[in-house]
Amino acid sequence: MKAIVLAGGFGTRLASVIGDIPKPMAPVGETPFLAILLNYLKDQGVTEVVIAVHHLKEKIIEYFGSLYKGMSIRYSDEKEPLGTGGGINQALSFFQEDEPILCVNGDSFLEISLQDLMLHYQKESPDLVIGLRFIDNCNRYGQAHLDHGRIIKFDSQGSSGPGFVNGGIYVLSRKLFKSLDLQGPFSFEEEILQNKLYKIKCGYVVTKGKFLDIGVPESYKKSEIFFKNVLREQQG
């Protein structure tokens, strides 16, 4: 399998806690969050990764180089901030047009079977597959509304109460962006998931696995205990 990891954001909300390092490199104990994420991808069979970089990119490139634990690493260098949508679109240029690619946010972790995501994409032929997680309060993420195996709507952030949320992991290809005629900097979440979802077929896979988004200090402070629990469960 091949994957894109989005690691180009400024991490403004986390800067007061982690200082002058890229948000995906935020330390969890002595290990950068991005290293934990790449280890997880490797363990599930990912062999090739394109990391989308911009802010403090040198620190990411220096740490991982072109080969990390047997995985080929390349970098999609954003000359200007492209947002999540523009970042994905540029990174997809490293792959064939019809090739299904995993895409993972560099500041979130979701326990989910990558094989299940890929198989759903291959069997159902949607334009996009999203990993979903049920949580008690959707306020930070916006809620996904489901109908007959498809996601038909995403609420914007601020919708309180329980529901399914975007876990920050997708399967897609270059065809999605070509069909919507999207170029330049844009937000994947706003431009596609909120504004253009009605134009595409969007499937999903639900997981009960652990979910963590380190994008704000409150959740980042939980990361060390979170991953100790993940490791403990994996070891039985």
Which of 82, 63, 103, 76 shows the shortest CA–CA distance to 9? 82
Neighbours of 120 (CB within 10 A): 20
Question: Which amino acid belongs to residue 80?
Answer: E
In the chain, pLDDT over 70 holds for what percent of residues?
96
How do strand 2-7 and strand 101-105 relate by DSSP bridges? parallel
In tens, the pLDDT along 48-66 reads 999 999 989 999 999 999 9
Split at pLDDT 50, 70, 90, the class of 234 is: low
Which of 19, 18, 45, 23 shows the shortest CA–CA distance to 33? 23
Distance, in Å, from the CA atom of 109 to the CA atom of 104, rounded to the nearest integer, reads 8
Look at residue 11 and tell me whether its pLDDT is greater than 80: no
In tens, the pLDDT along 209-229 reads 999 999 889 989 999 899 988
User: Are 109 and 169 contacting, i.e. CB atoms less than 8 angstroms apart?
Assistant: no
In tens, the pLDDT along 123-181 reads 999 999 999 999 998 888 889 999 999 999 998 776 778 999 999 999 999 999 989 98
Q: Where are the beta strands (DSSP E) in the chain?
A: 2-7, 27-28, 31-32, 48-53, 67-68, 71-77, 101-105, 108-110, 128-135, 144-147, 150-154, 163-172, 202-207, 211-213
Look at residue 235 and tell me whether its pLDDT is greater than 60: no
Look at residue 186 and tell me whether its pLDDT is greater than 90: yes
Which domains does the chain possess?
2-131+165-182+211-227 (3.90.550.10)
Tokens representing 199 are 């134009």
- CA-to-CA separations, 9 to 51, 69, 104, 114, 198, in angstroms, rounded: 12, 25, 13, 24, 27
